[in-house]
Structures are given as structure tokens and as C-alpha cells.
Amino acid sequence: MSYMDIPARQPIRLHGGGPAFGLPEVSPYTMKTEVQLQIAGLPYIHVRAQPADSPKGQLPFITDDDVTVADSTFIRSYIEQKYGVDLDAALSTEQRAVAWAVERMVENQLGWACAYFRYADDASFANGPARWYDAVPEPQRTELRQALRDKVMANLFAVGITRHGHDEIVLLGARSLRSLSVLLGDKPYLFGGHPTGSDAIAFAQLANILSPYFDNALRRRAEAFHNLVDYVERMMERFYPRFAWRACQKAA
């Protein structure tokens, strides 16, 4: 079954955080799902939500008629099964295995490194997550900011990333960035001339790292890989054509 065989229906509702910090969507996992919905050719609308609204306590989640699905990986499985699409249709069996390994590297290693620099670095935290509480009066504002930072730092310790030193975390992040750069090479997308499912998360995480709001060691490492910088611009132009990515970078 293809999308064209499906009767007219309400668009999927994608619940995410919305634009912030020079990004069209603050959550890389929501960006991942949004790009995958576009690759699949499925109609959707973006709805702002809070993590507490999700059945799994995290963004994104989707509602499709009377079905709710949380977590970007399971959202992809759902849309592929229900609507008969295959985001990796052009890939060989070996390439599919590489694509899954790339997703796990980006989400379970590079993503944690990005979060470390977002929350452990004072300037990055002040320019980013701390701003969510700007409208809250003092002293609650300071308390909420510190509570958020403590919670995320506890998670980072639990997954192991902050058991390493700063320079070691830079090294780990840089190795993942180099791996992505080598895999991409001079191709438009990770596996050739058309974006696939893994391009969605690679792009989303790289865009978060390259956001001009966060000047840290990981961003500077990413900027050294010119093909990754060009890749983010190419993906942004294709999937977020109305978002002024370059203008945000110049303005920050």
C-alpha cells in the first residue's frame, strides 16, 4: 500500500517543542520525525507540547486519529507499517545495517556529548535552556533553572558521558563527527542522491551542534568538517525552506 492509496484523512499531529535557539525545532528528535514525515510524503501539522504531555514523558510524540505514539524510533516504525512506506527503500541490506549503526551512534553517543556541552558549559546553558524560564519571577526562576540543570547533569552521569573529563568528551564527539564526515564524503546525503531515514537524525543533531547560540568546543570541532556544514545547509533548504538558517547564524 502506498500513501496515494490512503483515503483523505486528518493530518498526523506532530507534538514538539517548537522553534528556539536558531533552530526550526528545539528538539533534534522532533526534527528527526518531522523530516521523516516529509520524506514519507505524509501530511502533518506541528503542535507545540511539553514533555509532560507525552505518554513517555519526552518529545516528540504523534497523534494519528485515535492512536498516540511516542519516541521518534517507534514513530518511524508506526508510519512505515501503517502507511506502507520504507524510508530506506533505496538501501541494500548492508547499508541498512550501517544506517542503524549511524542512528545509534548519533543518538546514543553524539547526542549525549551535545547535551553535555549544552548543560555543563555555563555560557551555552545561559544562552539556551536557562531562557525557558525568563518569564518566571525570581526566585522561582533561579530555582527552576538549577533544578533543570541538575536533572540533566544527573542523567548525563547515569549514561556515563560525564564520567569522562571535558577533553575526553570532546574527543568522543569529534570521533563521531569524523565518522559522519567520512561516511558522507562528497555525496549529497549519507547514502547517495536521496535522503533516507538516518539522514533525518544526523541532520537534526548536527544542526543542534552548529546552532550559533552555543559556542563551545564541540561546535568548533563540527565547523571544521566543511562537508557536514554544507550538508546541514542543504538539508535545511530542502526540509525547512522558510527557515532563515544562514540569517540566524549571522545574527547570533
List pLDDT tens digits, range 203-212.
Answer: 999 999 999 8
Do 174 and 136 lie in a common domain?
yes
The range of the structural domain enclosing residue 51 comes to 3-83
Do 234 and 116 lie in a common domain?
yes
Do 99 and 209 lie in a common domain?
yes
Cell 516528540 sits at which residue?
60
pTM of the model: 0.91
The answer to whether residue 6 scores a pLDDT higher than 80 is no
Do 56 and 103 lie in a common domain?
no
Do 47 and 77 lie in a common domain?
yes
| CB proximity list for 40: less than 8 A, separation 6 or greater | 3, 79, 80, 83, 85, 87
In 3-state terms the chain splits into helix, strand, coil percentages (rounded to 5) of: 60, 10, 30
Percent above pLDDT 90 for the chain: 87
| CB proximity list for 93: less than 8 A, separation 6 or greater | none
Cell 549511524 sits at which residue?
102
Do 103 and 66 lie in a common domain?
no
